[in-house]
Chains A and B, each alone.
Chain A
């Protein structure tokens, strides 16, 4: 009977899977809350390292590994998600990714002796976040919401969802980062009106403009740049420092991963301090040598002016697409660590003519919003609804390589479009369709999403077949395709070949391969869950022992309960959740009479009209 009170409700968590840092949050009753990891930190650096014995290290601990064993470590893997090798050439110049040979359709990075796809590396980060959440909440966590940059394309979104699946998480929803921030902010303030969210993350820049009204968060337009972020600022400083060192020491350190990582850490430290001081010193010590370089805020600002300016174009385009003027924008919300830079703040203030809001921590606000969305999906948050848009137009390659747009960017999602295709040659039984995403007129200038092969068309003269294809972008911003024969109404098979990314079979294989680790995590969560149940029943029994119901029991009954409590306390510290559960069952069994007595006392009390 005590068990009713501690029935476990399934927890859905919100995850900000960031380029630089990742966080996990949950809805604690009515408030979103970031979960603190085992090392006491809320931010989990998005760094993964694999020790020579195969042990996987994630987060703060991996940050040190990044310096000691750069060849076994990786950071900023988000930059590679859903991308092909030719897409990341710019990234490869600035980031020490080691791409494995033969990475044509799917990139594989080398970590020590093994190679991994970006979703697998991201899955290791997700697994750590999941573990942190399970330990903090004392419950199994199998469902989540993950945030993605608003400007992420279909392949990048799919890669993120794959990462979740590989980590054993059902991804209930992908939410755009600026939208999540608006959700966290709007829920807190219960605001109405037009708000702009300016999100300068580690590797991406997003701008979204939303209308808030009666709990509906409607995105009017979104824009951005997936190749622009705080890392670019770090790289500017890093390059200067490397050049200085080269001329001062006569030594080129740029080829040494270890040195570059240490120096990167040191310039980031200086950059962060510059948000609060007018002048700072980069301090870099390397094998007994010392490099010191004073940087004034003025110099820093001249270094990053063009980076800050590059964010303003998308902001103006976004206002135009949303059909609003700067005067109509009521609030501006800042997201991402780089928005702490005073120059960024003043640029935003000048552009939107509104003082930006900074009361929520810009590093946490996205995760908090993800938790709110998790609450909406699990039913704990009511009357709030997010209406988001697709950031990029969806089109089909037509004759001559020209794109015919079928779903325009900034359309509210879910959105759909139907197209009818026919054959061009007598007796043709299949039609190839090439789907692209982007705004350019020629297919080759856009992002190739997938090629579909409509098969099984009955042979007939050219132009007679009619295959209706429905393109549907779901609430995650991911494309779904269905096809049917317009004559027969028969569903047509659609063979999807993603241009970049993993097939379902590959993801399945990766899930399979990761089961070993999953087992450990699963056990830890079960133990944590069982301990929460044990705490509850022990507390309830203790409380019952101080009532009349306890006195009414026989000596033998009281002894049995005391023994069962002791045995449960012993089992509590084992790592065997079966054992803990078995002792909970025993205690539950022997407290039946006690529970009944308490009920009766309560009923007698109620009949007498007095409280027990």
Chain B
């Protein structure tokens, strides 16, 4: 947000100028936009309330009789509002966003490198899938058991993530974020395995 109002020149630290009520250009940080502290586990009910309240203030429908410049800011602000809400209400997207804002590299994680502790599991899953494809129905229960195991792993991981989220929200320690990133990568890998085990070839 610029230090002075584009319209009247008075200091304008907030969304609308206190002097002339003109809409100011939006903040680009999603948390700053919602006026909430950066957090891995924000209050989602509060986020939703803010989303509706801000929509009622910023939506282009409310600016159709305003100046072209305010219309432009309304469009930009509402786009950021919607983008931010979409990201912040989704746990994975939100975590990736916080990591990025905190300077962590969150580039595409390769899913080819199997985490060592999962090697055995992945090997067995591929075998079972291959057998099913060949028409060996005996492999089906094995596969279902594998899928259940992966689901349980993901649930445990999610619980672990929740604990780390609370930890970072309380103390903002960089090593917590490093742990979060590692958990997230592992979660992505396990989610891929669940998908793989769910797309089982049909009975022939």
Contact = CB atoms under 8 A, between A and B. Distances in A.
B61 interface: yes
A415 interface: yes
A99 interface: no
Given A214-B52, A216-B52, A472 B64 contact: no
Contact of A386 (B61, B75, B85): B61
Contacts of B78: 414, 475
A115 interface: no
Interface string B123-137: 000000000000000
Contact of B82 (A216, A377, A411): A411
B86 interface: yes
Interface in B45-68: 52, 55-56, 59-62, 64-65
Contacts of B79: 414-416, 472
Nearest to A408: B86
A379 interface: yes
Nearest to B86: A411
B64 A377 contact: yes
Given A412-B85, A414-B82, A474 B61 contact: no
B194 interface: no
Contacts of B85: 412
B75 A216 contact: no
Nearest to A381: B61
B83 interface: yes
Contacts of A51: none
Interface in A453-510: 472, 474-475
B75 A475 contact: yes
Task: Determine the interface band of chain A, counting residues with CB < 8 A from chain B.
Answer: 20 to 34
A412 B87 CA distance: 12
Contact of A216 (B55, B62, B64, B83): B55
A472 B79 CA distance: 8
B80 interface: yes
A378 interface: yes
Contacts of A387: 55, 59
A173 B61 CA distance: 9
Given A414-B75, A416-B79, A475 B60 contact: yes
Nearest to A411: B86
A413 B64 CA distance: 16
Contacts of B76: 472
B83 A385 contact: no
Interface centre among B52, B75, B79, B85 (most CB of A within 10 A): B79
A379 B86 CA distance: 28
A416 B80 contact: yes
Contact of A172 (B55, B62, B64): B64
A376 B56 CA distance: 12
Nearest to B64: A377
B80 A376 contact: no
Contacts of B56: 216, 385
Interface string A361-395: 00000000000010011110000011100000000
B55 A385 contact: yes
A173 B64 CA distance: 10
A402 to B, nearest CB: 14
Contacts of A173: 61, 64
Interface in A213-248: 213-214, 216
Given A379-B65, A472-B75, A475-B75, A414 B52 contact: no
A415 B83 contact: yes
A197 B126 CA distance: 44
Nearest to B82: A412
A385 B86 contact: no
Nearest to B78: A414
Contacts of A416: 79-80, 83
A413 B82 contact: yes
Given A214-B52, A415-B79, A416-B83, A385 B61 contact: yes
Contacts of A378: 64-65
A476 B86 CA distance: 19
A379 B62 CA distance: 8
B101 to A, nearest CB: 15
A474 B64 contact: no
Contacts of B65: 378-379
Contacts of B82: 411-415
A417 B79 CA distance: 9
Contacts of B80: 416
Contacts of B52: 213-214, 216
A411 B86 CA distance: 8
Contacts of A379: 65
A200 B130 CA distance: 45
A379 B61 CA distance: 9
B75 to A, nearest CB: 6
Contacts of A472: 75-76, 79
A475 B85 CA distance: 16
A597 to B, nearest CB: 38
A474 B75 contact: yes
Nearest to A373: B61
Contacts of A475: 59-61, 75, 78
Given A385-B55, A385-B56, 11 more contacts: A173-B61, A213-B52, A216-B52, A385-B59, A385-B61, A385-B62, A387-B55, A411-B86, A413-B82, A415-B82, A475-B60
Which 10 residue pairs are nearest across A and B when measured between Cβ atoms? A414-B79, A416-B79, A412-B82, A377-B64, A475-B60, A414-B78, A415-B82, A376-B61, A472-B79, A414-B75
27 contacts: A172-B64, A216-B55, A373-B61, A378-B65, A385-B55, A385-B59, A385-B62, A387-B55, A387-B59, A411-B82, A411-B86, A412-B85, A413-B82, A414-B60, A414-B75, A414-B82, A415-B79, A415-B83, A416-B79, A416-B80, A472-B75, A472-B76, A472-B79, A474-B60, A474-B75, A475-B75, A475-B78
Interface of A: 172-173, 213-214, 216, 373, 376-379, 385-387, 411-417, 472, 474-475
